[in-house]
Amino acid sequence: MIRSVKPDVIIHTAAMTQVDQCETDRDLCWQVNVTGVEHIIAACAENHSHLIHVSTDFIFDGSHGPLDETAVPRPVNYYGESKLAGEQAVQKSKIHWAILRTVLVYGVTPDMSRSNIVLWVKKSLEDGKTIQVVNDQWRTPTLAEDLAQGCYRAAIKKATGIYHISGEEMMTPYDIAMATAEFFKLNKSLIKPATSATFRQPAMRPPKTGFIIEKARRELGYQPHSFQAGLALLATQLR
């Protein structure tokens, strides 16, 4: 396909991102998140395409945050290891590239084929379900349209290097759930705080990440929505 189209820029967003599945099906995870990236790098080299590669905050250990682009990666799960290996393959290549790392993306897809924390909380509360949500992990949740904006700006500028693309508000999943319930006027009493230790999951999660986005602001003109504005946009799309 790349030989046929000969694109000037490729924005590579595909990945295996189900963290627990990556932990238990490591071969498939590596094929998608590393070998797949190597194939795209080879195609970019052959066709002189500029690569915008999307990565994740899960390459970090979560010992502190928010993080800028100089932070040292130290993944705590196999998903993070695979995404870091994909980044390293891009960095070692001789192609022109930019790596855009992002955090906890939420939004609406046309076919609703994939959920995220905001949609899960909204549907659960609408169905009258009690939910447990962790309050000891911190992220800077990212509206899908903001990530798209970052990718677009990096593409039109043919930017090079690493950029952190996310929202700018540090929130726990519990904070996100409460804000979602408040916005959609749903029953907040159904949301119960929990610690990470409450859930038995195959993969560890980094406790605290989140991004400092000043480089993206300065070099790309990136400007994210506030979380409230992101919810408002999501609400109009759902209507």
Q: Taking the mean position of all CA atoms in its chain, how far away is CA 168?
A: 13
For residue 207, the tally of other CB atoms under 10 A from its CB is: 16
Cα distance between residue 194 and residue 173, in whole Å: 10
Cα distance between residue 234 and residue 237, in whole Å: 5
Write down the residue that tokens 């924005």 correspond to. Answer: 11
Write the CB contacts of 134 (distance below 8 Å, at least 6 apart in sequence). Answer: 172, 173, 174, 193, 194, 195, 196, 198, 199
- From 79, 106, 174, 222, the catalytic residue: 79
For residue 221, the tally of other CB atoms under 10 A from its CB is: 11
Write the CB contacts of 6 (distance below 8 Å, at least 6 apart in sequence). Answer: 47, 49
* Sign of the CA dihedral with 127 first, then 128, 132, and 135 last: positive
Q: Identify whether 152 is a catalytic site residue.
A: no
107 Rama class: left (phi>0) / alpha (psi -120 to 50) / beta: left
Instruction: State the catalytic residues.
Output: 79
